[in-house]
Amino acid sequence: MTESTAPALGPEDQKIVTLARSARARNGVPEGAAVRDETGRTYVAGTVDLDSLKLSALRTAVAMAVASGAKALEAAAVVTGAEGVPAEDLAAVRDLGGPATPVHVAAPDGVVRVTVSAG
């Protein structure tokens, strides 16, 4: 994982941060995430916390992209109170997007704290 401070985001990356923040707030879950595929489609998810199934928001968003036929990812965003992104989440992004896929990590207020690569 390569880490960098959060650069100014372009409009498409800001959009997925906004969508992730909305999912978190709307569903009252610890995390919201969004990913953008190779065609520009976005997939938005919140944390899944069932007795029989527990998934982070980011892994859920990646799963939704795969289930919808996405072949690659251009970028991902997660809105969380946590300081970083778990290795399992980065692995899911890397599996579909490759190691250079940027993952924008934002605080609950939507401010991007850091951008890391999935690699």
DSSP 8-state assignment for residue 108? T
Report the distance separating Cα 40 and Cα 75, nearest Å.
Answer: 10
Please give the single-letter amino acid code of residue 48. Answer: V
Task: Say which residues have a Cβ less than 8 Å from residue 52's Cβ, sequence separation at least 6.
Answer: none
Cα within 13 Å of Cα(4), Cβ side: 13
* Ordered per-residue pLDDT tens for the chain, 119 residues: 555 555 689 999 999 999 999 999 999 999 999 999 999 999 999 999 999 999 999 999 999 999 999 999 999 999 999 988 999 999 999 999 999 999 999 999 999 999 999 99
Report the distance separating Cα 37 and Cα 43, nearest Å.
Answer: 8
pLDDT number for residue 7: 61
pLDDT number for residue 91: 98
